[in-house]
Structure 1
Amino acid sequence: AGIARFLRLALQAGRAIVVASNDVDGRLELMAALADTLPTKRIVAVDGGGRFGDHHVSLSAGAGANAAEVVRQALKMRPDRLFVGDCHGPETFLALTALAGSVEGGVVGVTAESPDDAMIRIMRQAGTAVSVGDDQIGGLVHEAADVLVQLLRYADGKLVVTQVIDIDGQRTEVFNGFSATGHVPRWVTNAQSLGFDVDMGVFS
């Protein structure tokens, strides 16, 4: 319950979440559930695997358009929040650039089995779109993304949130499993000062 409230606050406050997992279906289910916490926002979802409800706009890559082109089309729709189900190429750069600038928050998904793996993969995939140095790509990732959620599907089929990490600056755990670490991200304090309803008990 604490993790759910934290992630809902992140999206309401216009933050960007990276959802990493070794299981695409579980990742898309979580992303669709997060989208449903924002009923009044215009959400455009790219490659959502049919999980997003009819009240959201869903676009998919196919024979006529690759993922990067579909993300470009999504951005033309002026979404309040952008969801990209599976970042695995140049669309990663487009999504991160939008989340760092024109789009106020959203969720991007990546296949990874650990937070470190997720960050490496996102940087590598974003780098396939442009010829810039790792430092610039790293700067974009840290400017765009605020929270990383690590999901793992175990051999018995159980899907578990193993970590939730604040990646706004230093990477610091907010939740280890379902246990809060006591760390309060800087953006949470900012959201509270802006009048968002923040349950600080989530962090203790």
Structure 2
Amino acid sequence: MGEGLPGTSGEAGELRGRLKGDLVDRLGLSAISSMVSGGDPARARAELEVACQAILNTRGYEGLGDEERAEVVRQVIDEVVGLGPLQPLLDDDTVTEVMVNGCEHLFYERAGEIHAAERVFESADQILMVIDRILAPLGRRLDRSSPIVNARLANGDRVNAVAQPIAIDGPVVTIRKFSNRISTLDQLVERGSLPSWYAQLLRWAVLLRSDIAVAGGTGSGKTTLLNALSCEIGTAERIVTIEDSAELRFDTHPDVVRLEARDASIEGSGEVTIRDLVKNALRMRPDRIVVGECRGGEAIDVLQAMSTGHDGSLTTLHAGTAEEAVLRIVLMSRFGMDLPTDIIEEQVASALDLIVMSCRMADGARFITSMSAVSRAEDGGVRLDECVAFDRSRRTWHLVSEPPCVARAVADGTLDREEVEAWRRSAS
């Protein structure tokens, strides 16, 4: 990553500190502050780089090579204008997540694997200064009275910050970077996350207005798949998306309403929950409702929406298997409405059509794994029929059975019989 400077980390920090001090002496705090707040970060960086290079040409900085000069200048400007050690990681498109664990540890995720960064923060105050720089434009703050903050940056990156006394070993920051590199099923096929015949099956499921829940663990690619499925919705349909932090992107769809939940203010007012937004979305004439993730009582509202004329809705949830996904939906629905379990299970069976699983393997690779059709069991509970099976050891897929929607669509002419027959041959 090219983050290192010659000598020990202490010497590198001393060099940065000296250059920053000389920069303040040369330009003055007011001039630097004016540059930083001027609204043109690129121009501020260019002007500060010129000043830093001029300082490095004076006495006291002899012996630095061209690469070392460029590196120390970049690091100082990152601290003055950017986000310090976080800046090169946020600028790197291959980095998908950044994690600060106090002063001594800074990690980042690339291609599903976690690595330790070469450069870390020098003090808790430096971390808090960076957090404040992130949150200030959003009208948020992190302190002892409000030690947990969730926010979204202008570019869609999701930020969670935790400070003392909640974070015992110093401020903790987690930044989930929004990836705009994958937004279609075809791109997932190219990456090897699923075969083309499986992608076609998912494409048909969206076309046929199946209600789909995407389930998986943290970082397994649920949101990426949800975005790809959402982009298969026809442009004649009106979409309402509901998220904790708005990550879904629609580059070409003309009729998308994006709603985002909001935490309570410091005074304890102004909270807008996912459940509030789901209820409000029903009044916005949606053809499709896409809920970024079900985490609580809103699950019952999503199920009711799916069952009352909003077919083709999509959501995600945390679960390791399709069976666990059903249990979680039932549990979360009971948070939203105190109904007997068997009544909620009937609601699940009538509302959901498909559960699609995603997973992240030990080496960081992400796959769209199994698909299960959801229906009502003879005893009134939820029946799951595996449609697509995934062999984790071989990383291969097998079509077990077709979802019922395919045969129905062929019978009523929605899908072309010859096209489906060709697909069946490719999937066998």
Matched with 1:12 is 207
Give the counterpart letter for 2:226 in structure 1: M
Secondary structure in structure 1 of the residue aligned to 2:336: coil
What is the match of residue 91 of structure 1?
298
Distance in 1 (alpha carbons) for counterparts of 2:291 and 2:219:
12
Structure 1 counterpart of 2:241, one-letter code? A
Tell me which of 133, 137, 140 is aligned to 2:340.
133
- Residue aligning to 2:249: 52
Stretches of structure 1 that go unaligned for 5 or more consecutive residues are none
Q: 1:91: Cα distance to partner?
A: 0.8
Residues 61-105 of structure 1: CA distance to partner in whole angstroms, max 9, x if unpaired? Answer: 112301100111222112111111110111110011010112021
1:113-172 residue CA offsets vs partner (Å, 9 max, x unmatched):
111111110110011111110000000001000111011112322111221111134311
**Aligned mates of 2:219, 2:316 — CA distance in 1:** 9
Partner of 2:386: 173
CA distance in 1, matches of 2:282, 2:365: 35
Partner of 2:280: 73
Q: Which amino acid aligns with 1:121?
A: R
Aligned to 1:43: 239
Change in CA separation of 1:25 and 1:49 when aligned onto 2, cut-off 3 Å? farther
Q: Identify the range of structure 1 (18-27 vs 159-168) with the bigger mean alpha-carbon deviation.
A: 18-27
- What SS does the aligned partner of 2:375 have? coil
* In 2, Cα distance between equivalents of 1:24 and 1:157: 9
Alpha-carbon distance in structure 2 between the residues aligned to 1:2 and 1:73 = 37
**Root-mean-square deviation over aligned CA pairs:** 1.8
Structure 1 Cα separation of the partners of residues 301 and 320 of structure 2: 23
Identity, % of aligned positions: 28
Equivalent residue in structure 1 for 2:404, among 181, 186, 201: 186
1:121 pairs with one of 314, 322, 328 = 328
How many aligned positions are there?
204
SS in 2 for 1:180: strand
How does the TM-score come out when normalised to structure 2? 0.45
Could you tell me the TM-score, scaled by structure 1's length?
0.92
Structure 2: runs of 5 or more not aligned: 1-195, 264-270, 377-382, 391-395
SS in 2 for 1:168: strand
CA displacement at 1:23 relative to structure 2: 2.5
Q: Is the 8 A contact 2:307 2:350 kept in 1?
A: yes
Partner Cα distance (2:386, 2:353) in 1: 12
8 Å Cα contact 1:84/1:108 also seen in 2: yes
Range moving further from structure 2, 154-163 or 115-124: 154-163
Q: Which has the higher contact order (CA 8 A, sep 6+)?
A: 1
Deviation at 1:26, TM superposition (A): 1.3
Supply the AA of the counterpart residue of 2:198: I
Partner deviation per Cα, 1:32-63 (whole Å, 9 max, x = no partner)? 11111124121111116322226322111112
Displacement after TM superposition at 1:17 (Å): 0.6
Give the AA of the match of 1:88: R
Give the Cα–Cα distance (whole angstroms) in 2 for the partners of residues 25 and 187 of structure 1: 27
Does structure 1 residue 103 correspond to structure 2 residue 310? yes
- Asked whether 1:62 is paired with 2:262, we answer yes
Higher mean alpha-carbon deviation, 108-117 vs 35-44, is at 35-44
In structure 2, the CA distance between the partners of 1:18 and 1:65, relative to structure 1 (3 Å rule), is same
1:32 has 2:227 as partner = yes
- SS of the counterpart of 1:150? strand
